[in-house]
Structure 1
Amino acid sequence: MPERSWRSLFRPSVPLVVAAILLGGLALAMIAQINAKDTDDYSGVRGDDLVELLKSLDATNERLSTQIDELTTTRNGLLDSTKRTEKAEKQAKLRAEQLAILAGTVGAKGPGVEVVIDDPDKNIDAAGLLDAVEKLRDSGAEAIAINGVARVVAQTYFLDDDDQIRVGGREIKRPYRIEAIGDSSVLAGAVRFPGGVMDGISILGGTASVTEQKKVTITALADVKAPEFARPSS
């Protein structure tokens, strides 16, 4: 953890400092009361006056004890509030990271598969490649990239361009290598099962193979276009 983060972790907030000062002041006041009681000479004080004085001291001590309890409760509440704030910040950060992965604005890594599609006769078109990607997505792929250059997200388009295919504006050359992050066994099943990716590619005249991997690293990022009309609702 960076030095700055350690300092911020142990730096008390202003409310906690105030509470600590007040607690210290009350403690000193109680000590002063006790010392005064021990050192004052009450030999010349009448019995009735002495009783009233003791009652006054008891009332003062009780009031100070009550104030200390209240300040302690306030301090504990501030500590709990700080912990809740830190937890909320961690959850917000985690959510932001998850959304960034889904949007394709950051890289991603995790278990998954690599699917290689060979198309020697150039029969596979954009629709055929998109169908293969959709089968992986429907099987739980959380991040997908093609040939290491085209990140596939919800708004990514597939387009035929002469004898090539463009994915999100990027030209994809044969053979097509699809990397997908998710449950590797489930994703591999989406490729192999009857009616899956292999069968779909075979019908189009190509071949497909799949390799399960413990770690897939995707560095390609999606092009993010700022919304022209949409704005947050709150």
Structure 2
Amino acid sequence: MTLLRMARPRATRANAFAALLAIALGFAIATQVQQTDQSGLEQLREDELVRILDDVNQEQGRLATDTRELESSRDNLLSGASSSSEALKSAQDRLDTLGILTGTTPATGPGIVVTINDPDHKVTSARLLDALQELRDAGAEAVQIGDVRVVASTWFADVDGAIQISGERVAPPYSIKAIGDPATMASAMDIPGGVTESVRGDGATPTVRQADTIDITALHSLQPPRYARPVPAPSK
């Protein structure tokens, strides 16, 4: 019985104070996190808030369109009417989409062409990477820089005073082709403190041209996996 009494926590003033201190600290942390989240938006300018809202609306619209297309394909497959042809069409559409995402097939569509004239070689690979990230955030579906097709595994580096993209040397003027909504991507390039302003700060001259049709012809060569192997189908 003595050991059990010793093991029980005693309600001392020190324990009560420690408990109150822990509660107060937790409340302070939660309040600080909430204030930080709110101040992150409060400190933005009106044009930046409008751009964020526009990006959200654009993304919502794209997701709604994708949802409707997937639901339509599902309904056609479940209906049983012409299920074979519908399944074949769905598979081909999926293959075409994967070909664009992996860069193994050409792509065409509306978009923009960003040209960066940099005679003094002031622009770095990091600046081109920033441009790529802005385009992706604005919904670019296919991108080509110079003669290099940009995919998920594309890397940028400064080597011997030149820019390399996935081992390929690119020289100014840098040409960036991107397929997507032209107005959205052009606005993303021209936001205050964005890519075009930063490029001008580097001493280079950027231009952005919107077009109804952009042809991306550079292709990415897939490398065979070194370690991964497909799982064989189970025997019946």
Q: Distance in 2 between matches of 1:190 and 1:230?
A: 38
What's the counterpart of residue 109 of structure 1?
108
Which of 191, 194, 212 is the aligned partner of 1:193?
Answer: 191
Q: Distance in 2 between matches of 1:162 and 1:229?
A: 33
What's the counterpart of residue 74 of structure 2?
none
Give the partner amino acid of 2:152: A
What's the counterpart of residue 178 of structure 1?
176
TM-score (norm 1): 0.62
CA displacement at 1:127 relative to structure 2: 1.1
What's the counterpart of residue 93 of structure 1?
92
What's the counterpart of residue 150 of structure 1?
148
Runs of 4+ in 1 over 6 A off after TM superposition: none
Aligned to 1:224, what secondary structure does the other structure show? coil
- Kept in 2: contact 1:145–1:151 (CA 8 A): yes
TM-score (norm 2): 0.62
Q: Distance in 2 between matches of 1:196 and 1:91?
A: 39
**What pairs with 1:1-234 in structure 2 (closer than 5 Å)?**
81=80, 83-147=82-146, 149-232=147-230
What's the counterpart of residue 73 of structure 2?
none
Q: Distance in 2 between matches of 1:232 and 1:115?
A: 40
CA displacement at 1:82 relative to structure 2: 6.6
- Kept in 2: contact 1:132–1:200 (CA 8 A): no
Give the partner amino acid of 2:98: L
Give ranges in structure 2 of 5+ residues lacking alignment: 1-78
Q: Distance in 2 between matches of 1:219 and 1:164?
A: 24
Aligned to 1:110, what secondary structure does the other structure show? strand
CA displacement at 1:164 relative to structure 2: 1.4
CA displacement at 1:163 relative to structure 2: 2.0
Give the partner amino acid of 1:192: D
CA displacement at 1:182 relative to structure 2: 0.3
- Kept in 2: contact 1:128–1:204 (CA 8 A): no
Give the partner amino acid of 1:88: A
Q: Distance in 2 between matches of 1:232 and 1:81?
A: 31
Q: Distance in 2 between matches of 1:232 and 1:200?
A: 45
Aligned to 2:120, what secondary structure does the other structure show? coil
CA displacement at 1:97 relative to structure 2: 0.4
* Count of residues paired in the alignment: 154
Q: Distance in 1 between matches of 2:197 and 2:221?
A: 31
Aligned to 1:229, what secondary structure does the other structure show? coil
Question: Could you tell me the percent identity over the aligned residues?
Answer: 42
CA displacement at 1:203 relative to structure 2: 2.7
Aligned to 2:95, what secondary structure does the other structure show? helix
CA displacement at 1:93 relative to structure 2: 0.6
Aligned to 1:213, what secondary structure does the other structure show? strand
- Kept in 2: contact 1:113–1:211 (CA 8 A): yes
CA displacement at 1:125 relative to structure 2: 1.2
What's the counterpart of residue 56 of structure 2?
none
Give ranges in structure 1 of 5+ residues lacking alignment: 1-79
Aligned to 2:82, what secondary structure does the other structure show? helix
CA displacement at 1:232 relative to structure 2: 4.5
Q: Distance in 1 between matches of 2:198 and 2:204?
A: 9
Q: Distance in 2 between matches of 1:121 and 1:200?
A: 15
RMSD between superposed Cα atoms in Å? 1.6
The structure that has the greater radius of gyration is: 1
